[in-house]
Every structure is written in C-alpha cells, then in structure tokens.
Amino acid sequence: MVYLFGSELPDNKSIFFSLRYAYGIGKGNSSSLCKKLGFSKNLKVRNLSKEHINKLIKIMEVLKIEVAGDLKKSKLLISKTLASIKSYRGLRKNQGLPVRGQRTHTNARTARKRKF
C-alpha cells in the first residue's frame, strides 16, 4: 500500500479510484490530476514508481489543492471565525442545530446529535 495525503491508497485499485480515498480529493480532482500527469485512469497504484508519486505530490502543491490535515484545519478555522464574530451560522453550528434554514420541529435529529 502507498501512503499519500494522510491515507493509505489500496494497491489493487486504479489510481483514479485510489486517490479518492484521501480526504478532500473527489471525483473531479482525481480526474484532473490523472489528466495533468498523463496517467491512464486504469493505471494501478502498485505500478506507480517513486518518480510518479513525486510528480503527483508536486502537482498537488502547484494546484494548491488542500488535502487531509490542512483541509480539516481550514474548515475548523472557518467555523471558529464564524462563531467568534457571532454570525447566525456560527451560533447555530455551536448549538449543533441546522445552519441553512431547515426545519427543527420534527426533523434535525441528526443535526442535534452531532457536535463539532
């Protein structure tokens, strides 16, 4: 297994699907990374060389795609900023209630359970 971007990428899967195991990389980012590097979507992770992995990391830095720890930190910072300026969104997030105007009388059970 290859360890990249804070997660282990499975060897037996293609690079297109394996990249999506990393937090913050979805279908679009994975597809664009494969195109930029010239990888086939069917290329298996076990067939990647050290040079390919280094190119992948450099492309991520050039494109400024936040992944794993950096993305989680920035999300947390945004949430704290909203709470510190006492915006409606920040207050609702702190209370664990729906932020975007959803009904709370009968629904929002999952929103009340989660605490950030």
pLDDT tens per residue across span 18-36: 999 999 999 999 999 999 9
Domains of the chain and CATH, by start: 2-68 (1.10.8.50), 69-113 (4.10.910.10)
Chain centre to alpha carbon of residue 115 = 20
Give residue 107's pLDDT.
Answer: 79
Give residue 76's pLDDT.
Answer: 92
Q: Tell whether the model's pLDDT for residue 116 goes beyond 60.
A: no
Structure tokens given for 115: 């605490």
Q: The whole model's pTM is what?
A: 0.75
Confidence band (pLDDT; 50, 70, 90) for 103? confident
C-beta separation of 43 from 15 below 8 A: yes
Short-list 81, 82, 105, 78, CA closest to 92: 82
Give residue 73's pLDDT.
Answer: 94
